[in-house]
Amino acid sequence: MIEFKNVSKVYPNGTRGLTNIDLTIEEGEFVVIVGLSGAGKSTFLRSVNRLHEITEGEINVNNKSITKAKGKALYEIRRDIGMIFQNFNLVKRSSVMRNVLSGRVGYHSTLRMIFGLFPKHDKELALDALERVGLKDKAYVRADQLSGGQQQRVSIARALAQEAKVILADEPVASLDPLTTKQVMDDLAKINEELKITMIVNLHSVDLAKKYATRIIGLKEGKVVFDGSVSEATDKAFEQIYGKVDEENVRKRAAK
């Protein structure tokens, strides 16, 4: 469970990233955050694992305050939160297996990790994770030899190997073509359904949000302007909030 309690974020230059966010995301939800460019989607997502520090309020992850946590406690909360980025964030010259195993780093001593000594159990977890995203046969291929969509699925496998309870995905399909987008989103949906991992995903496309989300949160200028189920997220509701959005234009802007 992720709880935002009156959360605001003002960047050092005075820009407001988030304003008075108050909401709870329950275990197993598939939440998609939508909003125009600059609405605060990344700020929202990155506040959950404290990649960004909030300036007011508190965020609780499974009833523990990540806002107040320090040292080992912070480390342990973060271990439960996987992150998927638009640009995959893989070590491109390492094998797929090494990349997936890096999800296990948080469970071992630094010394052990310097020597890359992952126990057998970790390797089994990594192979299981790769199997789930259909890439077990690529385990010993270099990451940069895979297509963009496959690389994104490796990053999903890394979050699975981490045994994350929550996955944050920041524009995971923004640099992928429609077919690959579907494969990656289908993987996220399958993982959410089968493993009950909570998903919080930033997307530019309202159409995709409607296809995959169980709940849509709309942001505008750092505030929540819509929070509801897919059936409530009608074109009319969105038009009232955002004006008429030209999806094609948004996609083009995102690709730049």
Ligand X SMILES: Nc1ncnc2c1ncn2[C@@H]1O[C@H](COP(=O)(O)OP(=O)(O)OP(=O)(O)O)[C@@H](O)[C@H]1O
What is the contact surface with ligand X in residues (CB under 6 A)?
11, 13, 15, 17, 35, 37-43
In the complex, minimum distance from the CB of residue 34 to ligand X, in angstroms, rounded to a whole number: 9
Contact yes or no for 85/77 (Cβ under 8 A): no
Written as six digits, the tokens of 175 are 């640099």
Shorter beta-carbon distance to ligand X: residue 10 or 113: 10
Shorter beta-carbon distance to ligand X: residue 34 or 167: 34
Shorter beta-carbon distance to ligand X: residue 47 or 102: 47
In the complex, minimum distance from the CB of residue 219 to ligand X, in angstroms, rounded to a whole number: 6
Shorter beta-carbon distance to ligand X: residue 18 or 125: 18
Shorter beta-carbon distance to ligand X: residue 8 or 94: 8
In the complex, minimum distance from the CB of residue 133 to ligand X, in angstroms, rounded to a whole number: 25
The closest of 236, 196, 203, 198 to 217, measured between CA atoms, is 203
In the complex, minimum distance from the CB of residue 11 to ligand X, in angstroms, rounded to a whole number: 3
Shorter beta-carbon distance to ligand X: residue 41 or 165: 41
Phi, psi (degrees; rounded to nearest 5) at 25: -110, 120
Query: What is the C-alpha separation between 208 and 240, in angstroms, rounded?
Result: 19
In the complex, minimum distance from the CB of residue 195 to ligand X, in angstroms, rounded to a whole number: 27
Query: What is the C-alpha separation between 157 and 130, in angstroms, rounded?
Result: 6
In the complex, minimum distance from the CB of residue 104 to ligand X, in angstroms, rounded to a whole number: 29
In the complex, minimum distance from the CB of residue 20 to ligand X, in angstroms, rounded to a whole number: 15
Query: What is the C-alpha separation between 193 and 219, in angstroms, rounded?
Result: 25
Query: What is the C-alpha separation between 63 and 233, in angstroms, rounded?
Result: 29
Contact yes or no for 123/64 (Cβ under 8 A): no
Shorter beta-carbon distance to ligand X: residue 11 or 75: 11
